[in-house]
Amino acid sequence: MRGTAPIKAFNFLFFALLTMFVSFMPVYLSDQGLNPARIGLITGTGGFITIVAQPLWGMISDRMRTVQKVLLLLVACSSAIGYFLYDSSSFGMLLLFAMLMYFFLMPVDPLIESLNFRTAERLGTSYGSIRTYGALGYAVMSLAVGYVMSYLGAGSLSWLFAGAGIVSLLVALLLPDAAVSGKPVTIASLRVFLSNRRTQLFLLLIFISAVPQRINDTFLGVYIRELGGKPELVGQAWFLAAGSEIVVFALSFWWLRRGKEMLLISIAGFFYFIRFFLSAWITEPYGLVAIQLLQIVTFPVFYSAAIQYLYRIVPEEWRATGQTVLALLFFGVSGIVASYGGGWLYDRLGGQVLYLTISGLSLAGLLFGIGLYRASSREDAAQARS
């Protein structure tokens, strides 16, 4: 395997694992007899574990100046833990193994994204041409797991997860490591980066924009069921959402322009607003499934542009940690807010009000992004003249 083949294969396999854990663990927990309160306890606590684990492994990667070796450790541990998670039935064991999965599997995401971007830079190819295989893995496994669980039972996930994990581990052995910085890693350099006003405003924008996305991720299935949709419609919705990302990531070499990241983030914010506003007024489940195709101009555009912008402003020696901070805000902190805040709002005021609220948050993110784009353009122009 040469060039980008190993990292493309790893992206496919890792996001397939992520599908089984993030999208289907609640289904498995329910099959084991856990009520929604206990399922919420596990996923909510996992969010807090992720907040600790992602920065920890990101800093370990930066300190050791390697991404590949850390990935090998995390994938090996996740493969074994995933088998025991989906082979357990008692609440205590499910809680234990789920927390370990949050500790070992979730930190892989920012590390592989860091490796994706740095490998693309080193080989002179686009980030999206690599990341598109992750979207493909997520989409394919979304359909596959549903059929496997239907015909072989929920317990079959233990062997499926372990098998995919072992293959991922073998592929990880072939991964190129990220080129390390010649600059020493210091806490002082990180402090300077995080205290920079431009950085702080960018991270605030990420948080504001991520909360609506995470609320949709958490409650989309619930809303589809409330409108009368069957469980398979939920799987089809995720397939359409993940599948629509493939084209966008594949063509990122064409649309992802250096210096235009904030503009692209704002464009994605506009379509987030449209997507969630329309979702609030849809009254039948098939329409809600179809509107997930707007994922094509929301998440992949937003996240790709955010990563490229981050890599323009973060100190070179702290890139893996910077990627971790981005993932932590987008998937960790925002996920906790989405679970508790979104759940409270949905329970008291219903799905329509929930989607109107997150459309308003997306509009706020759009306006904030436009403001940052104008400010960033002025700063870049001033630096070019000096």
User: pLDDT 10s digit of each residue in the chain, 386 long?
Assistant: 457 899 999 999 999 999 888 877 877 777 787 776 677 678 778 888 888 888 788 788 878 888 889 999 999 999 999 999 999 889 999 999 999 999 999 989 888 887 888 888 788 888 778 888 998 998 888 878 877 877 787 788 899 999 999 999 999 998 877 654 444 445 555 566 667 788 889 889 999 999 998 888 777 777 877 788 776 777 778 788 888 888 887 777 778 777 788 899 999 999 999 999 999 999 898 999 899 999 889 988 998 888 888 877 776 666 666 766 777 777 778 877 877 787 778 777 888 999 999 999 999 999 999 998 888 777 766 666 66
Identify the pLDDT of residue 1.
42
Q: Span 1-179: which CATH code?
A: 1.20.1250.20
What is the model's pTM? 0.75
Are the C-beta atoms of residues 99 and 49 closer than 8 Å to each other? Answer: yes
Identify the pLDDT of residue 264.
92
CA-to-CA distance for 41 and 47, rounded, in angstroms? 10
For every residue of 17-59, DSSP letters joined together read HHIIIIITHHHHHHHTT--HHHHHHHHHHHHHHHHHHHHHHHH
Identify the pLDDT of residue 384.
60
1-179 and 181-386, same CATH topology:
yes
Identify the pLDDT of residue 162.
94
* Encoded amino acid at 370, one letter: I
Q: Which helix (H) or strand (E) holds 303?
A: helix 299-313
CATH 1.20.1250.20 fits 181-386, yes or no: yes
Identify the pLDDT of residue 316.
66
- The structural domains of the chain, with segments of one domain joined by +, span 1-179, 181-386
Identify the pLDDT of residue 8.
93
The torsion angle over the Cα atoms of residues 325, 217, 202 and 307, rounded to 10 degrees, is 60
Query: Tokens at residue 58, please?
Result: 């990101």
Candidates 208, 197, 301, 200; CA nearest to 247 is: 301
Neighbours of 229 (CB within 10 A): 19
User: For 67, which DSSP code?
Assistant: S
Identify the pLDDT of residue 274.
96
User: For 183, which DSSP code?
Assistant: S
Identify the pLDDT of residue 256.
77
Identify the pLDDT of residue 317.
63
Identify the pLDDT of residue 355.
95
